[in-house]
Structure 1
Amino acid sequence: MSLARPAAPDAGGGLLARLAAAVLARPRAVLALAALLTVLTGVFGLGAHDRLALGGNSASTGDAVRADRWLGDHGAVGDAQLELLVATPDGVDSAASRQAGAAFTRLVAGQPGVRTVLSYWPSGPAALRSTDGRSALLLVRTAGDAVRSTESAARLGRSLSGRHGPLSVSATGTGPNYGDVMDQVGRDTRRAELFGSPLTLLILVAALGSLVAGLLPVAVGALAAAGTMAVLRLLTGVMAVSVLSENLTTTLGFGLAVDYCLFVVHRYREELAGGADPHPAVVTAIRTAGRTVVFSALTVALCSAGLLLVPVPFLRAMAATVVVVVLLAAAAALTVLPALLAVLGGHLDRLDPFAAVRRRLRRGAARPGFWHRLATRVVRHPLPWCLGAGLLLLALAVPAGHFRTALSDYRVLPASAPVSVTARAIGAGFDPAELAPTSVVLPDAPARDALAGYAARLARLPGVTRVDTVPGGWLSVVGPADSQSPEAERLVRLIRAVPAPGTALVGGRAAELVDTQQVLTDRLPWVALVVVLAMGGLLLLFSGSVLIAVKALLLSALSLTAVLGAMVAVFQDGHARWLVGGAPSYGQLEVTTPVLVLFLAFGLSIDYELFVISRIREEFRRTDDLARSITSGIGSTGGLISSAAAVVAVLLVVLAASELSLNRMFGAALALALLLDATVVRGVLVPAVMRLSGRANWWAPAGLGRLQQRLAVD
């Protein structure tokens, strides 16, 4: 065991140095190959959008899935994927309306992909008639698995909407919901391309000092974005990939590629400023900043890979895509970027639109920068700064104690969307409790007396209005009006606790939510444990310090809890909604979004940690002065990390401007996570905790240094 300063690495070699040398030997060949791959992946990825799937945001296992499958196999509507609201001016019971309604019902039943139709006409249940008698409902179940049935319902909703004689038809339900989501994703992608790239370039030019230097990360980011679409298309051949993945993964792929390039270019320019020739400067930049890029990509990939263990199709598809995209972004930054630097040579600093501003700033260059001054204050008084920053994050985290989740529905769309308008009209004109009962399937076909006794026991449960025995072996339990309310969730659990005459499968929207919550509750702690252990191992190898690895994990956990608290406060409780464009709040968060945000934010927070620690570690090896190493490391990386976080945050803010509440929540929450991490955590908590820890920062088990050298990571 040792408390000595970390040993210096071998400056002459290493895998990354050899990779850089190989690229520099044939830079134009590398660029030609990269250009060819960009074109090929771009062309191949053009068809990705049309292959993306709808749905997949709930658990693919559980009683609710089995109950819904049984109902479909036995001719029951169950949880209908398509709801058709049919309005008629002279009332649904007039002779003309009944005749037209019956004809329309036959038309719907004859459509390809339709399995079952439950209609008010000619003699359907009274629950399908509105209270004012001017509209009626058709509930349609489509054939296929969850993805194919949703896609069929979306297609049918579009084709059947409109005028049919005296009838006016509008559509809603899970199929039309996701169909409108797909259209909105396309519009969001075009807006991101229009605003995101120019804003990113502006930040990069300001950070790197010239238009030419700023264009390098954008070029590599464009390669990563093209590769992302190709990856999405490839994955659609082996799994259902949600349409929501398109915006999220292209944003991350482009943003991370830009960040990685920013780190490398910044280090390259430092080497040039120190008198190094261009080629040795590239090798040093790849050997040092490139090492951070490799570990950063591995951390984000590991965090994302953990979600592959969760049986929710959307999370699995996102995890698989992010893993490949992050590694692609890192590979591009370590191969294409050094080739570009070699070809550009001395032209890197050309075309600086902010040259006049920079000249004025240089006149006052004797004064240390903001991040250096902040680090100096923190190092002088670490305990007050540590307590203050910690209390700020804890205050933000308080609302996380009462967060609640729901499944995605029409509320993810703008209130003006036709699907949302139709859904609200159904909620106002019909009894929602009658339209969304809890289904209890009894596949063992119990005797009549046993079934009657079981139904009577269910009828006595709190919140149950009525229990209907449906021919074919299942029960319809009418309960709370809102199928995603706490009362509905409680009723599902109560039903499952009642002894049944044989197997009882509880289905319906509320049961689907309960099963999804249960899957996440069961799997996520184990997934988190595996991810934390893996990340701890990577941090230990990277830093050579047990304390630094543990500290990074704990600070990341604190900042992530603060992000969750902010999500609850804004998107669930409705506080400060103006920060996100006045987005409506419904008292719940979509069940998969917090999981995805927290896992990705964890990986990205470690990303910045690695870069800060690597610079502090270099300074400490050189000077053996901890206070000076901290202030120098924070001072030299603070502006760069702020720029890197700003790049990704800008892209996420553009995403947060979406009219889709899921994209809005994802973009805003992940942007907040990055900004908190780049400022409060890296600017205050990291230097404060390191100063308080003293030389214990570099404590490591005996033999760790030899292991690092053996694995070529030091």
Structure 2
Amino acid sequence: MFYSIGKFATRYRWWIIGFWVLAGLLALPFAPRASSVLRSGGFSSPDVESQQAINLLTEKLHLNLTSVQIIYTSDKYHVEDVAFGQKLDQSLARVRSWSEVARIVSYTDNPRQISQDRRAAYVNVELKASSNDAPKLLSQLEQRLGKADGLSYQIGGGPVFYEDIQKVSENDLRRAEILAFPFAIIALLLVFRSVVASILPTLVGGFAVVVALALIFGLGQITDLSIFVLNITTLFGLGLGVDYSLFMVSRFREELAQGRSVNEATILTVATAGRAVAFSGLTVSIGLFGLTFFSINMLHSVGIGGILVVLLAVLAALTLLPAMLMILGERVNSLPVRVPRLWRRRQPAIVDDHYGFWYRLSQFVMRYPVSIFSTVLVLLIAFGLPFLGVRFSAPDASILPPYVPSRQAFDLLQQRFNMRETTPIILAVQTKGDALRPDNVRHLYEYVQRIEADPRVQRVDSIVSADPRFTLEQYQLLYQNQQLVSDPYLGTLLKSTVSGNTLLIQVVSKYEMNDIRSQELAQTIRNTTPGNGISVLVDGGAAANIDYVNTLYTEFPKAVLIISGITYIVLFLLFRSLVLPLKAILMNTLSILASYGALVIIFQDGFLHQFLNFTPLGFVEASSPILLFCTIFGLSMDYEVFLLSRIQESFWQTGDNTRSVALGLQRSGGIITSAAVIVIVVSACFATADVILVKAVGVGMALAVFMDATFVRGLLVPATMRLLGDWNWWLPFVGVQRKPAIFAEVTGSEDRAALTELRDAQDAPVGGKE
């Protein structure tokens, strides 16, 4: 099949280039607009209890959670000063009359919105718009806010947080692109020592990214996609587009150096390196496919966008690149570049197999396989051990840089206000019949008293705990005769928290939302039943955190099994061995575990946080390990496929496992290292992101690829291949496979010349003298 693809690419090269140029031109107007159709949220699932609680309260009580917090601070006035209130009212005058505002809750309505130093207070502006549309109203809100002498204000809340994620993500993407392209070209110049050869991979990566972003713009019109799709799409488009092109161009130059014609070299490049590229792209897509099984929209979206750009990168590498190589021919080495002596090596990328660095390294490793295997294994496991102390949490404004409004408001609330008051545990309660019936009031009263008795509870706000002086009988009498309710606070509480058989109860914890004690309290409340057929759904920051983490890690094992199973089948078809696919999966897992340990040390504990320019979280954002697994698993398998493909070619020629490992590593080690360097460079550019989630993925990928290209590919793979011997190539009922797969693909074809040509190509030494 790949031989036929190579022939097609050479025969219709101008048509193929014309097609890609047209696709690029059509995509250009839409690619920059991709961010406009992407959503900033996507960290919740409609199936979890916390979301069901919100849906119920929104439907029954018309609870409006789309609110903006405006925090007023003053060095001149106290909150009790008349001037403070007057100037605040002046600032809000045009906001109060705005048709988009549903309600404004001031500090005079709720004294708990006053800071502990009494020099700041915030108001909640509830908007009529949905959470998706609210960020679009922020500019109008700011225009309507008037200045107040002696007071300054800061705007925060969910809509501001989502708008900031959108803006910061776009800035991160632009910065990463500006850094990644030149650094990738420099790395390619050092590898190829030719301007023309170096430009080809960046063209392929660029076409893949531009077309993918245009398609994402189209998909965004019909389904909700997360803003993080932008970063992952560009990261994979550049990284893999350059990687695949690097392997293809290197193989093409290698074939030319052996005296083959341009046509032969192009076809054989697609038939050998192109085959590895296709299977590599398939394994990467499988890893990303695992993300689509998650109900969390952010992960689901990243999976879709990632698969899209990977498939485009493979398609470009198998069609556009061979067409360009066929046209360029020997001119692929044009415009040579002088590089420092340290980087020089004989060109093309072929050395005497028995004297190259990678050959000597593999011989040393295979001389002491047990010692090296056990040492590297212990080292990688040690790198991953810090992950045993991981603390997971959902993202909040702390994942954003300190200079954005939502983060500044978040920090201000933390420093000067009681944050526990702003993040209560919310109970959506449904009773049998009217909630204010005496029997329901009695059970609710007893239920709330049990909650209040918990030592972790600061206070419970509800219609049966509004006044500690009231007895159960007084509450029952009052709610049977609601005309007797004269207290304004209790009257407001009744109107805002009760509707028919549904009511709202708020539990204020003594501890912060992310504190394990608050999360245990939320879980305890979930396990406490009021009786009398009363049902309770629990929401709030602590409960939403629990649901977010539980949802992710309930679905994660299923994704791991599916990814591993499909990858095993694909590698089995590629290598025709039962052992190699299993070994490849285990090798990849080790480098991923090592990157997990780095996540904890860096982002939870704060190691290198000043160098990486972020504030330590004290936790690991729960989706980061899953994103890393699904992306790194495929990316690491990328190098495994290229390495084992060259080892397999050598094994077909020699039939000697030990020698084929040395030859395969020698023929691919330099290129794999160069490809890894480029991916590390691109990932490091994304590690400059201001959004900590993107920064974590960039850092994790860079570290994992480094571990994979050094410890795993350079040491563990040769050691395990030596220990397993001919068992590497074992297949039931067949034994050791020796028949080249490439022959099997052409057998039965009427094109006898092609069969002869391919047989000659396989019989000839791949890397010079043997």
The TM-score with structure 2 as length reference comes to: 0.86
Q: Indicate the RMSD between aligned Cα atoms, in angstroms.
A: 2.6
- Deviation track 1:30-65 (CA, whole Å, cap 9, x = no partner) reads 111111111111222122122221111233331211
Q: Residue 232 of structure 2 aligns to a residue in which SS? A: helix
Structure 1 residue 651 displacement after superposition: 1.1
- Deviation track 1:303-330 (CA, whole Å, cap 9, x = no partner) reads 1112111111110110111111100110
Structure 1 residue 107 displacement after superposition: 4.2
Q: For 1:301 and 1:198, how far apart are their aligned partners in 2?
A: 27
Structure 1 residues 527-566: aligned runs within 5 Å: 527-566=559-598
Q: Is 1:596 the equivalent of 2:627?
A: yes
Corresponding residue of 1:30: 16
Q: Which amino acid aligns with 2:122?
A: L
Corresponding residue of 2:442: 449
**Could you tell me which of 211, 235, 240 is aligned with 2:224?**
240
Structure 1 residue 166 displacement after superposition: 5.8
Corresponding residue of 1:615: 646
Determine if contact 2:154/2:408 at 8 Å carries over to the other structure.
Answer: no
Corresponding residue of 1:333: 317
Q: Is 1:387 the equivalent of 2:365?
A: no
Determine if contact 2:239/2:678 at 8 Å carries over to the other structure.
Answer: yes
**Could you tell me which of 120, 130, 136 is aligned with 2:121?**
136
Corresponding residue of 1:505: 537
Corresponding residue of 2:721: 690
Structure 1 residue 496 displacement after superposition: 0.2
Q: For 1:547 and 1:612, how far apart are their aligned partners in 2?
A: 15
Q: For 2:732 and 2:286, how far apart are their aligned partners in 1?
A: 24
Aligned length: 696
Determine if contact 2:401/2:614 at 8 Å carries over to the other structure.
Answer: no
Bigger drift between 516-525 and 233-242 goes to 233-242
Q: Is 1:570 the equivalent of 2:556?
A: no
Q: Residue 153 of structure 2 aligns to a residue in which SS? A: strand
Larger gyration radius, structure 1 or structure 2: 2
Percent sequence identity over matched residues? 30
Determine if contact 1:568/1:589 at 8 Å carries over to the other structure.
Answer: yes
Q: Which amino acid aligns with 2:120?
A: S
Corresponding residue of 1:274: 258
Determine if contact 2:194/2:334 at 8 Å carries over to the other structure.
Answer: yes
Corresponding residue of 1:117: 104
The TM-score with structure 1 as length reference comes to: 0.92
| Structure 1 unaligned regions, length at least 5 | 1-14
Q: For 2:165 and 2:720, how far apart are their aligned partners in 1?
A: 45
Corresponding residue of 2:46: 60
Per the alignment, do residues 621 and 237 of structure 1 end up closer, same or farther by CA in structure 2, a change over 3 Å counting? Answer: same
Corresponding residue of 1:5: none
Bigger drift between 375-384 and 239-248 goes to 239-248
Q: Is 1:172 the equivalent of 2:156?
A: yes
Corresponding residue of 1:479: 509
Structure 1 residues 153-168: aligned runs within 5 Å: 155=139, 158-159=142-143, 163-164=147-148, 167-168=151-152
Corresponding residue of 1:212: 196
Q: Which amino acid aligns with 1:474?
A: L
Q: Is 1:262 the equivalent of 2:238?
A: no
Q: For 1:105 and 1:556, how far apart are their aligned partners in 2?
A: 57
Q: For 1:711 and 1:318, how far apart are their aligned partners in 2?
A: 37
**Could you tell me which of 75, 91, 101 is aligned with 2:78?**
91
Q: For 1:205 and 1:251, how far apart are their aligned partners in 2?
A: 20
Structure 1 residue 202 displacement after superposition: 1.1
Q: For 1:192 and 1:146, how far apart are their aligned partners in 2?
A: 29
Structure 1 residue 371 displacement after superposition: 2.4
Q: Residue 589 of structure 2 aligns to a residue in which SS? A: helix
- Deviation track 1:526-551 (CA, whole Å, cap 9, x = no partner) reads 12111111111111111111111111
Q: For 2:242 and 2:33, how far apart are their aligned partners in 1?
A: 25
Bigger drift between 382-391 and 437-446 goes to 437-446
Bigger drift between 429-438 and 74-83 goes to 74-83
Structure 1 residue 138 displacement after superposition: 1.5
| Structure 2 unaligned regions, length at least 5 | 464-493, 748-770
Per the alignment, do residues 634 and 491 of structure 1 end up closer, same or farther by CA in structure 2, a change over 3 Å counting? Answer: same
Structure 1 residue 106 displacement after superposition: 6.1
Q: For 2:25 and 2:105, how far apart are their aligned partners in 1?
A: 50
Q: For 1:532 and 1:124, how far apart are their aligned partners in 2?
A: 56
**Could you tell me which of 353, 369, 374 is aligned with 2:337?**
353
Per the alignment, do residues 545 and 143 of structure 1 end up closer, same or farther by CA in structure 2, a change over 3 Å counting? Answer: farther
Q: For 1:410 and 1:305, how far apart are their aligned partners in 2?
A: 29
Determine if contact 2:50/2:537 at 8 Å carries over to the other structure.
Answer: yes
**Could you tell me which of 284, 305, 310 is aligned with 2:289?**
305
Structure 1 residue 145 displacement after superposition: 5.1
Q: Which amino acid aligns with 2:685?
A: V
Q: For 1:399 and 1:108, how far apart are their aligned partners in 2?
A: 50
Corresponding residue of 1:370: 357
Per the alignment, do residues 711 and 360 of structure 1 end up closer, same or farther by CA in structure 2, a change over 3 Å counting? Answer: closer
Structure 1 residue 245 displacement after superposition: 2.1
Q: For 1:649 and 1:399, how far apart are their aligned partners in 2?
A: 23
Q: Which amino acid aligns with 1:313?
A: N
Structure 1 residue 450 displacement after superposition: 1.2
Per the alignment, do residues 551 and 162 of structure 1 end up closer, same or farther by CA in structure 2, a change over 3 Å counting? Answer: farther
Q: For 1:387 and 1:475, how far apart are their aligned partners in 2?
A: 57
Structure 1 residue 158 displacement after superposition: 4.8
Determine if contact 2:232/2:305 at 8 Å carries over to the other structure.
Answer: no
Q: For 1:175 and 1:32, how far apart are their aligned partners in 2?
A: 44
Q: For 1:176 and 1:406, how far apart are their aligned partners in 2?
A: 21
Corresponding residue of 1:6: none
Q: Which amino acid aligns with 1:542?
A: L
Corresponding residue of 2:764: none
- Deviation track 1:329-376 (CA, whole Å, cap 9, x = no partner) reads 100000000000011122111112126849975499778333222212
Determine if contact 2:73/2:153 at 8 Å carries over to the other structure.
Answer: yes
Per the alignment, do residues 155 and 53 of structure 1 end up closer, same or farther by CA in structure 2, a change over 3 Å counting? Answer: farther
